[in-house]
């Protein structure tokens, strides 16, 4: 969500919109920031293995309670809400001010009812895939829930200069949070069965899991590279042969798969969540969830895909420009609903939360 907010705000500014970012006061200085809190809460209220500090939610209620009046003061033409705090969605519904809430998460119980009860003509939600829309609403999603696929800045994920050139060493890549529901242990075993090297990158969210199911297999061919910045990861993608994408849950999108495809990598993945919707039939090969043997075969099959194929899919479907086009149309929709006037075409002031 943080990366989405950053690139969305930068992209809107590049199009001439005035953007105010409501975020922690120590966020990127390139933005006009109205701080919700002085610094990111993780400094004083850290998470450990998805367990929050016991005072975190009380602190968030205090700060969001104070900020909601500034956010919906009438100063902004539209609010784009990327947070999950109930106060923001409730205030959008109460004031009937134009608001778009982007949902990046599954419909867990604490937030589902708030979203459902606050959607209206002036407050619409976006989801990142048709699969996520189904997980939130079943077979009959409301008209106020709209699919907007995530987009990336293609310049940050370049393909190799000669996109058909293959790397000398055939190794695969796996990237993401190191936790069981992301499935890196399946990637390790599939790579071994397929006779491939493997480079793993990501934050150790579950250290016990890593110690038990990943670390014992590390050697000169199966390597863990730690947490990589975007530039390092982009280079690693261009040097790899394919990406293993191994969700073990109802993955709503899969941004790493899009970044890898932009870098010219075909995908070997579990047919789970939105994977097939995002990767398509041409850019990847699929295995039944949790089937390591089938995943190893999918890796062999994926290596027959030309490296230009995944890149072209991202250019056609998942560019940042395409995403922002969709959001601008939704901004116009909620503004028209709010003021009962025709949508305005000139740049306007946008709040990114």
Q: Which residues of the chain have pLDDT under 50?
A: 341-346
Q: Which CATH number fits domain 2-151+319-352: 3.40.50.2000, 2.40.50.150, 3.90.230.10, 3.30.2320.30?
A: 3.40.50.2000
**pLDDT value for 342:** 43
Segment holding 277, helix H or strand E: helix 275-279
Architecture, CATH, for domain 154-315? 3-Layer(aba) Sandwich (3.40)
Q: Closest Cα partner for 290 from 253, 250, 248?
A: 248
**Cα(318)–Cα(150) distance, integer angstroms:** 6
**pLDDT value for 160:** 83
Q: Are 271 and 288 in contact (CB under 8 A)?
A: yes
> Per-residue pLDDT tens for 17-54?
999 999 999 999 999 999 999 999 888 887 766 678 88
How is residue 222 annotated by DSSP?
Answer: E
Query: What are the b/e assignments for 328-339, b being 16+ CB within 10 Å?
Result: bebbbbbbbbbe
* DSSP result, 30-85: TSEEEEEESS-GGGTS--BTTBPPTTHHHHHHHHHHHHHHHHTSS--SEEEE----
3-state percent breakdown (helix, strand, coil) of the chain, nearest 5: 45, 20, 40
**pLDDT value for 51:** 77
**pLDDT value for 159:** 87
Indicate where the chain has its CATH 3.40.50.2000 domain(s). Answer: 2-151+319-352, 154-315
**Cα(187)–Cα(189) distance, integer angstroms:** 6
């Amino acid at each position: 969500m943080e990366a989405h907010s950053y690139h969305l705000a930068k992209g809107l500014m590049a199009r001439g919109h005035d953007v105010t970012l409501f975020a922690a006061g120590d966020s990127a200085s390139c933005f006009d920031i109205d701080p919700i809190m002085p610094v990111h809460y993780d400094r004083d209220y850290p998470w450990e293995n998805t367990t929050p500090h016991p005072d975190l939610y009380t602190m968030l209620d205090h700060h969001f309670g104070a900020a909601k009046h500034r956010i919906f003061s009438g100063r902004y033409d539209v609010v784009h809400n990327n947070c999950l705090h109930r106060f923001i969605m409730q205030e959008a519904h109460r004031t009937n001010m134009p608001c778009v809430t982007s949902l990046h998460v599954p419909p867990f119980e604490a937030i589902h009812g708030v979203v459902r009860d606050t959607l209206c003509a002036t407050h619409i939600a976006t989801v990142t895939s048709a699969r996520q829309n189904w997980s939130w609403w079943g077979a009959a999603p409301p008209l106020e829930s709209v699919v907007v696929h995530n987009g990336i800045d293609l310049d940050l994920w370049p393909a190799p200069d000669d996109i058909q050139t293959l790397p000398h060493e055939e190794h695969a890549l796996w990237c993401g949070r190191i936790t069981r529901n992301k499935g890196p242990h399946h990637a390790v075993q599939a790579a071994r069965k397929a006779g491939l090297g493997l480079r793993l990158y990501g934050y150790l969210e579950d250290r016990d899991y890593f110690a038990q199911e990943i670390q014992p297999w590390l050697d000169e061919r199966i390597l863990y590279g730690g947490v990589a910045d975007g530039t390092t990861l982009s280079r690693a993608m261009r040097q790899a042969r394919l990406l293993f994408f191994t969700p073990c849950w109802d993955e709503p999108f899969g941004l790493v798969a899009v970044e890898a495809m932009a870098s010219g990598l075909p995908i070997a993945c579990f047919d789970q969540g939105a994977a097939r919707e995002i990767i398509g039939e041409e850019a990847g090969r699929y295995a039944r969830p949790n089937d390591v043997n089938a995943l190893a075969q999918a890796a062999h099959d994926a290596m027959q895909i030309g490296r230009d194929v995944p890149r072209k899919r991202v250019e056609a479907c998942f560019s940042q420009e395409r995403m922002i086009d969709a959001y601008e149309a939704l901004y116009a929709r909620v503004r028209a609903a709010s003021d009962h006037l025709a949508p305005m075409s000139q740049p306007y002031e946008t709040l990114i939360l």
